[in-house]
Structure 1
Amino acid sequence: MLKGLLLVLFVVMACAKAEDWPDPEWQVAPVTLNWQAVDNYAFPARTPARNGIRTDALLIIRDGRILHERYVAPTTASTPHLTWSVSKSVLATLLGVALGEGRFHLHDPVARFYPAMQAHPNVQMVDLLHWASGLEWQEDYEYAPLKSSVVAMLYTRGRHDMAAYAAAHGTGVAPGQRFHYSSGDSNVLAAALRGMLDAGRYADYPWQALFTPLGIDSAVWERDAAGTFIGSSYLYLSARDLARIGLLMQREGQWAGRQLLPASWVAFARTPFQQAEAVPGEANPGGHWWLNRPLPGAAAPWPDAPPDTYAALGHWGQALYVVPSRKLVIVRYADDRDGRFSHNELLKQVLAALPGEGS
């Protein structure tokens, strides 16, 4: 019996040791692959007109080791790059840690934590995480700035207290009934997080709960004048540090032997929200992440990528892709302005450059 237990313990320890972790730095895989087609797609010659595909950083990690990494000046491996709406998925990851600590439940009313939502008593945390609060909202940017709720929230009349600005909007539909992408929903989540914490803990919580345990030291997360993290848009991370979030998700919330994030939260993040309409080429919403899972009656958004692929996506081409079946984490930072970049094409090229499973 004792020998059997020792054998099991040996196998468990050997498996744990076999996993590579960035502790403190990422290791580089001892393989040489041909990345020419990937680089040709991601890094074409730049033009002064700022059009076309404009990648600032590309980092490809497989099984916890760097396979390929390239940057365009002034971005470097240590540059905290603006992630735009990738911030939303990192916020969701932080909330997953809070859920694991027992600070809230998915079906709690948001008003329990954020009194400004008392006018919307039926909106639950899960509704915000699905971008389905039902609040009236216009998420246009450059294309309709005068009518844009998000532009007003970030830069004009809502900028001093962004969550309160979002919460003051009227109800369009019942909560949970329809996906309607809203940076306002994300900033209300960031305000609700404050209500879950003891006084004085909010400012340090992202670091104490998530960034420091992962070894992230480049994070800059802006707050509005009310002191609320701008969870929708204004987190800055180096590509290597954002990849740590991806590895945490790819490994079901585990980090170096610790279950930092509940595995059930990872499953929630990558479960499609059914109250959404499929848009060809556009990923489908999960729990504040974006999924390659098709909605009923529709094709997969990224047909050349495995169906379990999911991502955190941001304005102007920011992306963190996670492909669990291939043990892949990919970070792309960019300055795209004209919509030519294709998530599917990049993923297709990366997958084509990789040897098959078991190599």
Structure 2
Amino acid sequence: MPLPVVRPLALALACLGACTLARGEAWPQRDWSLAPAAPSPALAELQAYAFPVRDDVSRRGVRTDALLVVQDGRVVYERYAGPTGVDTPHLTWSVSKSLLACVLGVAYAQGRFQLDAPVARYYPGFAAHPRIRLGHLLNWASGLDWQEDYEYAPLKSSVVAMLYTRGRGDMAAFAAGHAAAAPPGTRFVYSSGDSTVLAAALRGMVGADAYPDYPWDALFEPLGIASAVWETDAAGTFVGSSYAYMSARDLARVGLLMQRDGRWGERQLLPRTWVAFNRMPFAHYRAQPEQAGEAVPGGHWWLNAELSGAPRPWADVPADAFAALGHWGQALYVLPSQRLVVVRYADDRDASFRHNQLLKRVLAAFGEAPQP
């Protein structure tokens, strides 16, 4: 079984509430500043969509575990359901991929790699694929023959095999063992294998001794995140595709970092160029009709970008919105033009939930709020 890696918060934080560096710019320290919104019809409609009567028998319909809305660095709405509470480290599923991208962004700022470097330079187990670059993996464009099917098609699923059966002992090696299906960098194929190989390459970037603590040293502790858990496989590699856990309030810290272009307080933790790469659509992505409403892939983040000949995926949401998305409805949404960060944890088991439907209600409730 994967092994959990837990690191307690070690930073001495100066104050209990939010620290404000400039007019209207609040930053959470040990906790968030709370500015709950007044009741309104728009807020009632948001709650009705996100928290309908919960069906725990058939598990059908929208099943939100947590919804947290942050505006201008302050919590303006927060609600939990089921067993999830304010301090619960919730499984983020593939939101983990975007968290990994943030960790890699710190390594990039430290000069530990370049996007055009071959993956095998940092992960020797990838020697059979010398043409695949780190940037290809971040765009889910390795070209490897990967099947990202889940519980509805387990027999042909590469990711199910990686996480649960023949690949679980060394997940990066399992992914590296897949044959090439296309030249690297020429097509998008969503792949948890690409993400897991990136997690293995991180070890080569920072060294074996620093690796077990690196996500905490590089990202979680600077942001004041106390709840993070990240499982490893039996080879000691972080399961960068799937198995990070944290509370909704802590995940919102990552969203605020990204909303403010990689800056945390007075520190530029992620280079602006890195955040711009995360938010840049993969050049060779072409949306298909059956993918209507699906976000556009960027650098291990998902974008509400308008591409030539294709409508904006979330029609009622600003085009600058981007997100970290995970299985069964996990989401971290960042809406820079509205100064909003939204965390949703969920247990959705069918196709009832729609990103656009939630976010347009968030915008109706909070989108016109003036900045202090």
Same fold (TM over 0.5): yes
Partner of 2:234: 225
Deviation of residue 168 (structure 1)?
0.7
Q: Distance in 2 between matches of 1:30 and 1:183?
A: 37
Q: Residues 139 and 183 of structure 1 are in contact (CA less than 8 Å); yes or no, is this contact kept in structure 2?
A: yes
| 8 Å Cα contact 2:36-2:77 kept in structure 1 | no
Residue identity matched to 2:156: K
The separation in 2 between residues aligned to 1:192 and 1:31, in whole angstroms, is: 44
- Counterpart for residue 7 of structure 1: none
Q: Describe the SS at the equivalent of 2:232.
A: coil
The letter for the 1-side match of 2:189 is H
Other-structure match for 1:3: none
Determine which of 168, 172, 182 is the counterpart of 1:163: 172
Q: Supply the distance in 1 between the matched residues of 2:108 and 2:314 (Cα, whole angstroms).
A: 31
SS across alignment from 1:347: helix
**Corresponding residue for 1:54?**
63
Asked if structure 2 preserves the Cα contact closer than 8 Å seen for 1:33 and 1:353, the reply is no
Letter in 1 for 2:128: A
Alpha-carbon distance in 2 for matches of 1:203, 1:151:
25
Find 2:335's aligned residue among 323, 339, 342.
Answer: 323
Shift, 1:256, TM fit = 1.2
Q: Distance in 2 between matches of 1:150 and 1:31?
A: 41
For residue 310 of structure 1, the aligned residue among 311, 314, 322 is 322
* Compared CA separation, residues 31 and 226, structure 1 to 2 (3 A): same
Matched, 1:343 2:358: no
Number of matched pairs? 347
Give runs of ≥4 in structure 1 deviating > 6 Å. Answer: none
Contact kept, 8 Å, 2:338 with 2:367, in 1: the verdict is no
> Following TM superposition, by how much is the alpha carbon of 1:357 offset from its aligned partner in structure 2, in angstroms?
5.4
Question: Residue 45 of structure 1 aligns to which amino acid in structure 2?
Answer: V
Q: Please tell me whether the aligned partners of residues 311 and 322 of structure 1 are also in contact (alpha carbons under 8 angstroms).
A: yes
- Structure 1: unaligned runs, 5 residues or longer: 1-13
Note if contact 2:36-2:75 (Cα within 8 Å) is conserved in structure 1.
no
Distance 1:164 1:269, change over 3 A: same
Compute the displacement of 1:354 (Å): 1.9
- Letter of the 1:184 partner, please give it: G
Match of 2:150 in 1: 141
Amino acid at match of 2:47: D
Q: SS at 1:322's partner residue? A: strand
* Correspondence list, 1:75-224, <5 A: 75-224=84-233
Aligned to 1:42: 50
Task: Compute the displacement of 1:15 (Å).
Answer: 5.8
Aligned mates of 1:357, 1:15 — CA distance in 2: 20
3-state DSSP of counterpart to 1:231: coil
Mark the runs of 5 or more structure 2 residues left unpaired by the alignment.
1-19
* C-alpha separation in 1, matches of 2:24 and 2:344: 27
For residues 179 and 267 of structure 1, what CA distance do their matches in structure 2 show?
A: 19
8 Å Cα contact 1:274/1:295 also seen in 2: no
Amino acid at match of 1:87: S
State the Cα distance separating 1:30 from its structure 2 match. Answer: 5.9
The whole-number CA distance in structure 2 between the counterparts of 1:24 and 1:246 is 16
Q: What amino acid sits opposite 2:22 in the alignment? A: A
Task: Give the counterpart letter for 1:23 in structure 2.
Answer: Q
Q: CA deviation at 1:32?
A: 1.8
Displacement of 1:18 = 4.0
Residue type at the aligned position of 1:39: Q
Letter in 1 for 2:54: R
Instruction: For residue 144 of structure 1, report the CA deviation from its aligned partner.
Output: 1.1
CA distance in 1, matches of 2:114, 2:78: 39
Structure 1 residue 199: Cα displacement = 3.1
Counterpart code for 1:255: W
**1:73 aligned onto 2:82:** yes
Match of 2:5 in 1: none
Partner of 1:64: 73
RMSD value over aligned CA atoms?
1.3
SS in 1 for 2:152: coil
Matched, 1:16 2:22: yes
Q: Which residue of 249, 270, 273 corresponds with 2:258?
A: 249
Matched with 1:8 is none
Contact map agreement 2:138 2:300 (CA 8 A) in 1: yes
Deviations 1:232-270 (A, max 9, x none): 000001000000000000001110110011111111101
Superposed, which structure 2 residues align to 1:271-290 within 5 Å? 271-278=280-287, 279-290=291-302
In the superposition, the TM-score normalised over structure 2's length comes to 0.91
* Counterpart in the other structure of 1:25: 31
Matched-pair contact (CA < 8 Å) for 2:304–2:314: yes
1:269 to 2:278 alignment: yes
How many Å separate the matches in 1 of 2:114 and 2:320?
26
1:358 to partner: Cα distance: 3.2
Post-superposition offset of 1:19: 1.4
1:284-338 deviation line (CA, Å, top 9, x unaligned): 0000000000222100000100000000000000000000000000000000001
**AA at the equivalent of 2:67:** L
Asked whether the 8 Å contact 1:130–1:179 carries over to 2, the reply is: yes
